[in-house]
Amino acid sequence: MDILRWLFEAKLDFPRGGFLLWREVLGNLFGLASALGGMRRKVWAWPVGIVGNALLFTVFMGSVFGSPVYANLLGQAGRQLMFIAVSIFGWYRWKQSQRDPNGAAVEPKWASSRVRLALVIAMIGGTAVLTPIFSALGSYPPVWADAWIFMGSLLATFGMAKGWVEFWLVWVAVDVVGVPLLFGAGYYASAFMYIFYGAFTLTGFFIWWRVRNRNAERVTVETAFPDPKVSR
């Protein structure tokens, strides 16, 4: 119980009333570890991310959990619950398809043109639908930004589970909107982490792109020059 009490109450104070919640710092560190695992296509990325999501949920629902940060970001809090649900799906999917001898659990691939169009429509349409809902529930303004982050996070996490290379670009779109929103709401640790994630997600995109091209070249070579042992 003492550990839980410390976890919920501990904060790092700065001059002029500034502070950081240790829960927010720890939650983002778990999220960073999960992102690193996702870049390397490791199954453990999912359960590690779930721990971070649980911590950040308590942070963004500030008044409910007695946080000294008064702004409730309902989109940010709701997306943590969404992360947990989708992460369970991704965890199961990657574990079931784990075949790579190096421990990779998914083979990156490009989404089809139809899927890309569906992602764009879902991103814009979902933001438009959720904005008035989050407004009615009292989310921090500008509410459309909170809704944008929620939808982008949902689509990016689902895209990661499916192995689409484009999911990294969805995260970039989330980070661009998330940084000013989090700074304005006073969640400084998360805002700085979003800045780092912006560069990190671009790196992840190019890494997955290279892996996808390397796999495609291998398949082309194997098709052109089949192993004679297989045909026997």
Question: What would the mean pLDDT of 54-80 be, rounded to a whole number?
Answer: 67
Residue 230 pLDDT class (50, 70, 90 cuts): very low
Write the single-letter amino acid at 27: G
pLDDT at 89 over 70: yes
Distance, CA of 219 to CA of 126 (rounded, Å): 37
- The radius of gyration of the chain from alpha carbons, rounded to an integer in Å, stands at 20
pLDDT digits (tens, 9 = 90+) for 13-66: 666 655 667 788 888 889 888 888 888 888 899 999 999 998 888 887 764 555
pLDDT at 195 over 60: yes
Where does the chain have alpha helices with state H?
2-9, 22-39, 45-60, 74-96, 113-137, 143-162, 167-185, 188-224, 228-231
Q: Among residues 123, 108, 198, which one has the least CA distance to residue 154?
A: 123
pLDDT at 145 over 80: yes
Residue 184 pLDDT class (50, 70, 90 cuts): confident
Give pTM, 2 decimals.
Answer: 0.72
